[in-house]
A = this chain, B = another copy of it.
């Protein structure tokens, strides 16, 4: 009954989303306080007070025809200008409103970017492990996702493998920094090395290869590492951003896409992403939320909340004998499974009412992902269950 492209997707519906629904079911059965749901990146820190104030102010004072009306498909120019100014101040860039398109979350922005540049059969690279939706996004436009290895334990790009995997059909590399699911942050040095390899490949193949930098976790960094702003290192960079995590607005679907003037064919490219926004049915990012972002462009949710969670769970799990790279950013921890088949580990954790996502959902078997964007209390309550798991399996 349904299209062939959807058949596989319906069969293998997102494990993460299924876990989310399973968590809700278990919470009803056992009581919410007895279920330790680490499955979904749904922030547990409320949006900043200023978001609330801005919504109330706009609803009370702004002309509803503007507040809820159509605007250019790229979004309100004044909001885009504020975002450009904020980026310029923070990163020393020189953007203006013509470099910013407001998007329906980062997912909307990434799809517009891919629609704008991909022809069927084009290849898009991504470092393993990666957010598995990338595969679906690339598949939306009949592209092919090509996995690039990372070094064991540290999850840093395997540069030799990157060189090997680039070919004449390579059209883009998706980078997710800080990374979901590992929590690692790529340093300036890593970005320079990756950019250098892409530059050489562009020359070799006479092609334009884009970096699509997916940055919903940019503000969530717990070390003193800076997350490099990649447009400064590599011209053909498109940056997808979302306020889902930094302002705790995941349900609102609000973000932006950066298209730098330096990108090859900038004018055509900006027109293409804007038209993609329209024809794919987004039309524009939600209008009220765009104006809220204009008010709150330099606000941040309470990042220290996540740092405390990271420390609590990392310290406890490693003290029980579990192994994982210490997350420097995002709100995920990528735990080595104590048994070979990590889906079996996920099943055993579920018996302890702990919900985890198997690494195979990120194309990386033998690991599981914990999303620690949960309450401190839930982490505390979950620790005895983790300890029992460690005693049983390690």
Contacts and interface: CB of A to CB of B under 8 A. Distances in A.
A271 B271 CA distance: 33
A206 interface: no
A394 interface: no
Contacts of A17: 72-73, 278
A199 to B, nearest CB: 17
Nearest to A289: B286
A238 interface: no
Interface stretch (A62-70, A187-195, A312-320, A335-343): A62-70
Given A10-B271, A65-B46, A68-B250, A265 B116 contact: no
B69 A251 contact: yes
Interface stretch (A100-108, A154-162, A223-231): A100-108
Contacts of A280: 111, 140, 280-281
A42 B67 CA distance: 12
Contact of A3 (B60, B110, B115): B115
A64 B46 CA distance: 6
A258 interface: no
A257 to B, nearest CB: 11
Q: Main secondary structure on chain A at its contact with chain B?
A: helix
Interface stretch (A26-34, A51-59, A81-89): A51-59
Q: Determine how many copies of this chain the complex contains.
A: 2
Interface residues of A, number: 82
Contacts of A184: none
A70 B208 contact: no
Contacts of A269: 1-2
A283 interface: yes
A10, A20, A56, A271: most-surrounded residue (chain B CB, <10 A): A10
A368 interface: no
Nearest to A110: B281
Interface string A116-146: 1111000000000000010011011100000
Contact of A65 (B111, B119, B248, B265): B248
Contacts of A252: 68, 286-288
Nearest to A240: B281
B3 A141 contact: yes
Contact of A68 (B116, B249, B284): B249
A243 B62 CA distance: 19
Contact of A52 (B59, B72, B141, B250): B59
Interface string A334-359: 00000000000000000000000000
A3 B68 contact: no
Nearest to A69: B251
Given A13-B275, A110-B281, 17 more contacts: A2-B116, A2-B265, A3-B119, A3-B141, A5-B119, A6-B115, A17-B73, A20-B72, A56-B56, A68-B252, A69-B248, A70-B250, A104-B282, A107-B283, A109-B281, A111-B281, A137-B281
